[in-house]
Structure 1
């Protein structure tokens, strides 16, 4: 089985890595073979190993393409519940100027809003181009998605921070108190 993912031109080098090191790491850990067309950013992903791990191959490639460091993208293989989600900022914007404003709301002053999403959920959060990407467990991803959607809809930052704090406390009560999944940082 072969799947195709397209990534931005400026992320191809990150996907390949120095001397092809990152590409080989992905291939070995996920049980896939990557065929990267550096001209157009198209990546063919073919299963060659464990089918369960290979299913995460396209998400790993797409996560790297959307700005995640390879180490974070590879954590998708650490736990079968770990997932990658993408929020399209363009879909919530009326025009270029509105997209820039909404992207700024998600980033926050000096990156503080994005950092709080990470700190209070334990998920990895990256804003790249016109997308917000999340890697984490299902609950973590859902919390970040809901916080991002509230911000994109114009909710005040304070109310979104309060929502994140409330959800953080719920995660703690459930015994899911980790700073960065898994193991914390």
Structure 2
């Protein structure tokens, strides 16, 4: 059994109304969840296909980091789907800096986060001091690079240009070799 600890305020989301979300995860991932709502500790035990069961802890972790259960369950869609969590706090000096950088990642009315998701093809959530991305390795890499650019202080315009370029590359395989990237 593997253990994942999630924030208290996400336990209800993990369980769902009348336990519906928990049962859905258990059925679809072939795992059994043992949730301690006092501590936020969730035991994840594989009961069916052990390979599919390996995704169980990531599904729980994704919900714990702010993803909607249906987005977290996309991790089961294909073995290439992965969850990446980027620690914003690691790139900040103090609480004020964390708030400022988190604000830059979210953008005005959530626009920056929205564009990261839209143009990369990944699901993107900003929760607490992490940015979470669920997608293929290529999609997640685009999000990671965009987040790092923003955390390093790049202007939003440069980040949006990068996202547009990557969006076009991901949409038209093979074309990336014919584009000028200056």
Q: Which TM-score band applies after superposition, normalised by the shorter structure? A: over 0.9
Q: RMSD over aligned Cα, in angstroms? A: 0.8
Deviation of the 1:172 alpha carbon: 1.2
Q: Supply the distance in 1 between the matched residues of 2:173 and 2:30 (Cα, whole angstroms).
A: 33
Matched ranges for 1:151-166 at <5 A = 151-166=150-165
**Residues 5-40 of structure 1: CA distance to partner in whole angstroms, max 9, x if unpaired?**
000000000000011110011011111100000001
Q: Which residue of 1 aligns with 2:94?
A: 95
Q: Supply the distance in 2 between the matched residues of 1:90 and 1:45 (Cα, whole angstroms).
A: 27
**Residues 90-137 of structure 1: CA distance to partner in whole angstroms, max 9, x if unpaired?**
100100000000000100011000000011111100000111000000
Q: Supply the distance in 1 between the matched residues of 2:173 and 2:48 (Cα, whole angstroms).
A: 35
Q: Which residue of 2 aligns with 1:59?
A: 58
1:17 aligns with 2:16: yes
Q: Supply the distance in 1 between the matched residues of 2:93 and 2:70 (Cα, whole angstroms).
A: 34
Q: Supply the distance in 1 between the matched residues of 2:54 and 2:112 (Cα, whole angstroms).
A: 32
Q: Supply the distance in 1 between the matched residues of 2:155 and 2:36 (Cα, whole angstroms).
A: 43
**Residues 48-73 of structure 1: CA distance to partner in whole angstroms, max 9, x if unpaired?**
01111100000000000000000000
What is the TM-score when the length of structure 1 is the normalising length?
Answer: 0.93
Q: Which residue of 1 aligns with 2:107?
A: 108
Deviation beyond 2 Å, 4+ runs, structure 1: none
Q: Which residue of 2 aligns with 1:76?
A: 75
Deviation of the 1:173 alpha carbon: 1.1
Q: Supply the distance in 2 between the matched residues of 1:39 and 1:89 (Cα, whole angstroms).
A: 27
Q: Supply the distance in 1 between the matched residues of 2:173 and 2:147 (Cα, whole angstroms).
A: 23
SS at match of 1:125: strand
**Residues 154-182 of structure 1: CA distance to partner in whole angstroms, max 9, x if unpaired?**
0110001000001011011118xxxxxxx
Aligned positions, number: 174
SS at match of 2:84: strand
Q: Supply the distance in 2 between the matched residues of 1:20 and 1:163 (Cα, whole angstroms).
A: 42
Structure 2: tracts of 5 or more residues without a match: 175-182
